Structure 1
Amino acid sequence: MTVNDDSFTDWKNREEIAESMIPMIGKLHRERDVTVLLHSRSLVNKSVVSILKTHRFARQIAGAELSVTETLPFLEALTKLDLGPSQIDLGMLAATYQADDRGLSVAEFTAEAVAGATGAHKIDRREPRDVVLYGFGRIGRLLARLLIEKAGSGNGLRLRAVVVRDSGGGDLVKRASLLRRDSIHGQFQGTITVDEANSTIVANGNAIKVIYAADPTTVDYTAYGIENAILIDNTGRWRDREGLSQHLRPGIDKVVLTAPGKGDVPNIVHGVNHDTMKPDERIISCASCTTNAIVPPLKAMADEYGVLRGHVETVHSFTNDQNLLDNYHKSERRGRSAPLNMVITETGAASAVAKALPDLKARITGSSIRVPVPDVSIAILNLQLARETTREEVLDHLRQVSLTSPLKRQIDFITAPDAVSSDFIGSRHASIVDAGATKVEGDNAILYLWYDNEFGYSCQVVRVVQHVSGVEYPTFPVTGA
């Protein structure tokens, strides 16, 4: 047998193992609200090839490819436990087991590592919380995709309605089509039908009422059976407490804004300051996509090295706020054609750092350039540190942060030498550290941080909504502090 034959046989064997994992992952997901992860990446509803690719990704983190032959025994052990709602990381189980020298079997070790999700520690499955989307643009439709994808999966959120202005004939069909197909993010994973008689879009069995209203104060959500809901305003039309309070109507309990909040509205970056939210706070901002991209790695650097000052330059994809061709715009330069120009503009991300990291005393400045790509941006974070270090030390620190710290869902790490912006479309992390581009000299560190300013940000919004709804389930094994 040739080497090529050996490689092909090995691939087919791993395909067979990955195929056997799919029903186990699905059953844990549907019946017990357990989301199976691999180094913080969900394996739920993934294909055989996707599962194998996710395992191969581990070599970028741990230095060696993780095989399905290594993780299958842990998955089989999980199926034999009486688990409650939780997220369980097979990659971390395998890594911590390898480092354990007590001679435990895989079954014994797994039972111990996830004990917090079993027995007396097991939390009850909660009733789903109603969610309303106010606006159905780029972020709104991605939030809809995420909420539909997670429906019944243990995240406890149920998309009940979308509120939009009536744009005239065929409005419902056109909006459903925009949800079904996306030029950047591809086809919707599932089926979508339209019930025009009841003004409803049915996506993967989820009935989503489309409510037409020009003013938030005119909607009584209880008339549609919506109670105690979280409303996500993705229009950006109102950003202060007074404006957003208009949403607090019958049926709406909390309002989450997908733009930087003004005044005393808390700006929340999940993973960094979400634990500071007061339980009785009814109006919350998820800050901006750029703030979510820079704050987690900034915190990681500040915690380890201290930060005296910094500057962030964002090279940002163009947005619908800009013009296709030159035309009037209220902002300077943004009236010039977005697909034909690089456009210097402002960013509020630097000033928003103070809200998310109030203990960071360093002055952070910022500016932005809009460039002719439709999605994925990069933030160049130039920091003066409180002590000298080396490039190797910084990269090792950020690699470990992406793997084992509480920020592992926010920060990703890539070593690919030929990575470009389109490689990060669909990334669920808020920020991806480009190891190859990182520069460190003495007390100066320059980080290049990729981020999908649409999808990655939408994932952060959903995490905040999960947290404020009380359905953010614990992750096992517990790592980092």
Structure 2
Amino acid sequence: MSLRVAINGFGRIGRTVLRALATARKDAGVDVVAINDIAPLDVCAYLFEFDSVFGPFPGRVETGAGSLIVDGRTIPFHRAGSLADLDLSGVGVVLECTGHAGTRDVAELGLAAGAARVLISGPSDAADVTVVPGANDAVLDTQRIVSAASCTTNALAPLLRLLEDAFGVESGHMTTIHCYTGSQPTIDAPRGDAARSRAAALSMVPTGTSAGRLIDTVLPDLAGRVTARAVRVPVPSVSAVDLTVRLRDRADFDARLRAAVDASPVMGRTARPLVSTDLRGRPESLVLAESETVHGRDFTRLFGWYDNEWGFSNRMIDMALRMGAVPQGGL
């Protein structure tokens, strides 16, 4: 039996989740039974069919009376200002992709509409728990509101979990070299962060990242040991993790690292000299660039790529399936 999900917010992540479910993940066992967005249906359909990052959708996209039709599959489309105005009875998981579920009253709207659980596509203090596959999977139980953290946290946390378990992490610092996002203006315009007020496609922008605080939440045993910052760069997709760590044990490091990555359900590796566009559409949370590993006297530097939209959307699908598989009474 397929998991019934609703997508609330049909922006970058909402559309990418549906694109993945209609293509590479069409056999995942997920049935999208509702989409809700305040934008007009024809605009949402157009943006789903023609994507500046992923290209045209490789199938048929049509609209009907209050519905988006993808390869013949009719999905009811709503424009409700609040999910509480909809009937989501029978929905297993709401994918909350608006970016506005930072407070409990907003995060609970999917539950008020009748859905069993809510998965938030970003950091949220309103969530019952924050779960990153490959890092802290075991904390997921019967919680009804779950945060999937951020794309960068999904890239970094599994790597840190692996390093801590295999080698022991004494301390470290991560810089994410991150593509620009909708939080930045296309021309200089006021933002809360002065540097992020500058035109996104014209400059490298040093700034913060939510991964810095989320790592302490997701991996409390590493709390205070790893710091994080970001540099937003003028590319539209695919980001990178540049991590420098001091490890307790580096014996036979390269072979042990390869074995650990190969055993990970969310990580990959490459020995080829790739650039960011080569990683577009990769489903892993992080793809380590083996040739970029550097061993200093006291530190090790690791570098990995992540498609911050496609990879994260795949983790949203994975998390929804796991949440839908948890019975109401718990694991």
Q: 2:71 aligns with which of 194, 204, 229?
A: 204
Query: What is the aligned partner in structure 2 of residue 164 from structure 1?
Result: 37
Q: 1:182 aligns with which of 25, 48, 51?
A: 51
Pick the structure with greater CA Rg.
1
Partner Cα distance (1:368, 1:132) in 2: 32
Partner Cα distance (1:178, 1:141) in 2: 8
Q: 2:102 aligns with which of 227, 239, 243?
A: 239
Query: What is the aligned partner in structure 2 of residue 97 from structure 1?
Result: none
Partner Cα distance (2:193, 2:55) in 1: 31
Q: 1:256 aligns with which of 107, 119, 132?
A: 119
**Offset of 1:332 from its aligned partner?**
2.2
Query: What is the aligned partner in structure 2 of residue 216 from structure 1?
Result: 83
Q: Which runs of 4+ in 1 moved over 6 A?
A: none
Contact 1:229 1:253 in 2 (8 A): yes
Counterpart amino acid of residue 228 in structure 1? V
Contact 1:381 1:448 in 2 (8 A): yes
1:20-75 per-residue CA deviation (whole Å, 9 max, x = no partner) reads xxxxxxxxxxxxxxxxxxxxxxxxxxxxxxxxxxxxxxxxxxxxxxxxxxxxxxxx
Q: 2:3 aligns with which of 111, 125, 129?
A: 129
Q: 2:261 aligns with which of 382, 399, 402?
A: 402
Contact 1:294 1:449 in 2 (8 A): no
Please give the secondary structure, in 2, of the residue aligned with 1:458. Answer: helix
Partner Cα distance (1:151, 1:430) in 2: 16
Query: What is the aligned partner in structure 2 of residue 464 from structure 1?
Result: 319
Query: What is the aligned partner in structure 1 of residue 226 from structure 2?
Result: 364
Q: 1:299 aligns with which of 153, 158, 161?
A: 161
Q: 1:455 aligns with which of 305, 310, 314?
A: 310
Q: 2:269 aligns with which of 389, 406, 413?
A: 413
**Offset of 1:394 from its aligned partner?**
2.8
Counterpart amino acid of residue 232 in structure 1? L
Query: What is the aligned partner in structure 1 of residue 152 from structure 2?
Result: 290
Verify: 1:228 aligned to 2:91, yes or no: yes
Contact 2:14 2:97 in 1 (8 A): yes
Larger helix proportion, structure 1 or 2? Answer: 1
**Offset of 1:152 from its aligned partner?**
6.3
RMSD: 1.8
Please give the secondary structure, in 2, of the residue aligned with 1:303. Answer: helix
Counterpart amino acid of residue 225 in structure 2? R
**Offset of 1:208 from its aligned partner?**
1.0
Judged with a 3 Å threshold, the aligned counterparts in structure 2 of structure 1 residues 263 and 207 are, in CA distance, closer, same or farther, namely closer
**Offset of 1:150 from its aligned partner?**
6.3
Verify: 1:139 aligned to 2:13, yes or no: yes
Counterpart amino acid of residue 399 in structure 1? R
* TM-score, normalised relative to structure 2: 0.93
Sequence identity percentage: 30
**Offset of 1:263 from its aligned partner?**
5.5
Judged with a 3 Å threshold, the aligned counterparts in structure 2 of structure 1 residues 151 and 455 are, in CA distance, closer, same or farther, namely closer
Contact 2:128 2:144 in 1 (8 A): no
Q: 1:345 aligns with which of 207, 219, 226?
A: 207
Query: What is the aligned partner in structure 1 of residue 294 from structure 2?
Result: 439
Contact 2:122 2:148 in 1 (8 A): yes
For 1:327-342, list aligned pairs within 5 A: 327-342=189-204
Q: Which structure's relative contact order is higher, taking Cα pairs within 8 Å and 6+ residues apart?
A: 2
**Offset of 1:161 from its aligned partner?**
1.0
Verify: 1:192 aligned to 2:66, yes or no: no
**Offset of 1:429 from its aligned partner?**
0.3
Counterpart amino acid of residue 189 in structure 1? P
Judged with a 3 Å threshold, the aligned counterparts in structure 2 of structure 1 residues 401 and 415 are, in CA distance, closer, same or farther, namely same
Partner Cα distance (2:224, 2:253) in 1: 19
Contact 1:266 1:355 in 2 (8 A): no
Partner Cα distance (2:247, 2:68) in 1: 51
1:149-182 per-residue CA deviation (whole Å, 9 max, x = no partner) reads 36762x32100111111x4xxx222211211121
Please give the secondary structure, in 2, of the residue aligned with 1:338. Answer: coil
Please give the secondary structure, in 2, of the residue aligned with 1:367. Answer: strand
Judged with a 3 Å threshold, the aligned counterparts in structure 2 of structure 1 residues 240 and 182 are, in CA distance, closer, same or farther, namely same
